[in-house]
């Protein structure tokens, strides 16, 4: 048996050359952790709206999404006020949820065993609605649905249902690509190294 001693470094203690090597290893071996969350948002979107996504890709300097509209031609070409009415009649419950609010009720009779007469409760409003992350609860929900919300606020006459779906999917793939690109940058790598207490050899290899 022999014992080998070697110095171990934090990311900030490495030379610039070793730091660059550690970053390159991170980019080549680490998996993007938010891909499944992104796809869950897309899955819920296509469950609701008449579109089928054939393929998509993002990251590494390139991103695209290929889809087809699965509704009939009359629906595909709806626009303006008619499209607004169609969205409100068919998708309101998917686009908006009742806001949650909290309160307290008071019991009429307080017993010695229960000296606190307050009863806290949580309810969902039937008149106040929220459009916050209604698909999965993940923030990418807002990106994919933002063109729909924008249209509802300002129903432009030239915008068709097909146009709206195309904008939604373009928003989604762009947001996914931005998230991917932001993850694999040096600043994020440095932050992750420090917050996770990753350690490295002098050459920049991750020390397990």
Stretch 131-140: mean pLDDT: 82
CB contact at 8 A, 58 and 143? no
Stretch 127-135: mean pLDDT: 60
Work out the percent of the chain whose per-residue pLDDT is above 90.
69
Indicate the domain borders of the chain.
11-98+132-207, 99-130
Position 52 pLDDT exceeds 80: yes
Centre a 10 Å sphere on the Cβ of residue 58 and count the other Cβ atoms it contains. 22
Please write the tens of the pLDDT for every residue from 66-122: 999 999 989 999 999 999 999 999 998 888 764 444 555 544 455 555 555 454 545
Please write the tens of the pLDDT for every residue from 144-199: 999 999 999 999 888 999 999 999 999 999 999 999 999 999 999 999 999 999 99
Position 137 pLDDT exceeds 80: yes
Distance (Å, whole) CA 184 – CA 61: 12
């Amino acid at each position: 048996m022999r014992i080998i001693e070697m110095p171990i470094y934090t990311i900030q203690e490495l030379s610039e050359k070793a730091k660059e090597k550690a970053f390159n290893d991170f980019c080549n071996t680490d998996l993007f952790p938010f891909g499944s969350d992104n796809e869950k948002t897309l899955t819920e979107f296509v469950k609701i709206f008449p579109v089928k996504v054939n393929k998509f890709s993002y990251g590494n300097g390139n991103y695209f999404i290929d889809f087809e509209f699965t509704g009939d031609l009359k629906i595909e070409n709806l626009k303006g006020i008619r499209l607004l009415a169609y969205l409100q009649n068919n998708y309101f419950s998917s686009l908006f949820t009742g806001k949650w609010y909290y309160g307290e009720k008071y019991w009429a009779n307080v017993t010695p065993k229960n000296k606190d007469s307050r009863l806290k409760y949580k309810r969902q409003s039937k008149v106040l609605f929220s459009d916050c992350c209604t698909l999965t609860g993940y923030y990418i929900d807002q990106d994919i649905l933002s063109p729909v919300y924008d249209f509802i606020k300002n129903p432009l006459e030239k915008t068709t249902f097909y146009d709206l779906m195309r904008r939604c999917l373009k928003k989604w793939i762009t947001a996914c690509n931005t998230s991917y690109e932001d993850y694999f940058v040096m600043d994020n790598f440095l932050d992750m190294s420090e917050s996770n207490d990753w350690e490295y050899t002098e050459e920049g290899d991750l020390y397990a």
